[in-house]
Amino acid sequence: MTILYTWLETILREEYEQVRMLKESPRGSVRLVRHKNSGKQFILRRFTGNGEVYQKLLGCSCPNLPLVLEAAEKDGENLVIEEFIQGDNLGFLLEGALFTPKETRGIVKQLCKALWVLHSMAAVHRDIKPENVILCGKDAVLIDFDAARLHKPGAEADTQVLGTTGFAAPEQYGLSQSDVRTDIYSLGVLINVMLTGEHPSKKLAEGHMGRVVQRCTQVNPQKRYKDVLHLMEAV
């Protein structure tokens, strides 16, 4: 992997140019870059930590996930080049208006399809929130796998607390190990925010969707939907 990382750094330096910085944090950065010859734009991620899920996603084609083109690691430092999804960020859209139950169902079902692909690889996203969803035409695309991890049977708890306060499930704070039901918890919060603009603890969505949210966000993972297929059927 060290050789691949060095090769990728060289390619990026010689054949790509930065368009703009999209996000920067102590863990790393996300940049929009352009290939000098073709003019095509891509997302470049540099981050410290575990990049195993990006390795799993290499070449995986799903309309609800960005295509990961290259992924390399050296001494805990990760380089990832992925498809640039041109569309509207869900977090930005929610600043202007809420979504109808019909719109919410359509988006959530697509996110469930994305998660079904991840979960089939034993991967858990662990950071589902409006800012990590891009609406591109009729497609909802789930992005940013920096906090994602592979589920490890037999492990008692997560070794690192990652996720976003309000959307992260209780087990992400060291109570137990994250699994597919961790993402279902976050999806439940997302559904509620799309419908009400609030966390379910402050204002629960009305009617059937409110009951779906309640089951998704049970503190005990065993009381949530057991997988995203059951959630798809419920919404």
Separation CA 202–CA 29 (nearest Å): 33
- pLDDT of 161 reads 47
- pLDDT of 162 reads 55
Neighbours of 21 (CB within 10 A): 10
Q: What is the mean pLDDT of residues 23-52?
A: 94
Q: Is the pLDDT of residue 98 over 80?
A: yes
Domains of the chain with bracketed CATH: 2-83 (3.30.200.20), 88-234 (1.10.510.10)
- pLDDT of 101 reads 97
The mean-pLDDT minimum among 42-46, 85-89, 174-178 falls in 174-178
Q: Is the pLDDT of residue 157 over 50?
A: no
**Which residue of the set 127, 158, 179, 183 is catalytic?**
127
Separation CA 157–CA 150 (nearest Å): 13
Give 161-188 pLDDT, tens digit per residue.
456 788 888 888 766 678 999 999 999 9
This prediction has a pTM of 0.89
197, 98 contact by CB (below 8 A):
yes
Is-catalytic flag, 127?
yes
- pLDDT of 82 reads 96
Give 212-233 pLDDT, tens digit per residue.
999 999 999 999 999 999 999 9
Percentage above 70 pLDDT, the chain: 93
Q: What is the mean pLDDT of residues 189-205?
A: 97
Tokens of 199: 């966390």
Q: What is the mean pLDDT of residues 21-44?
A: 95
Q: What is the mean pLDDT of residues 70-90?
A: 94
E strand intervals along 110-169: 123-124, 133-136, 139-142, 149-150
Q: What is the mean pLDDT of residues 129-151?
A: 92
Q: Is the pLDDT of residue 160 over 60?
A: no
Separation CA 46–CA 69 (nearest Å): 14
Neighbours of 136 (CB within 10 A): 13
What does pLDDT average to over the chain?
91
Separation CA 92–CA 32 (nearest Å): 18
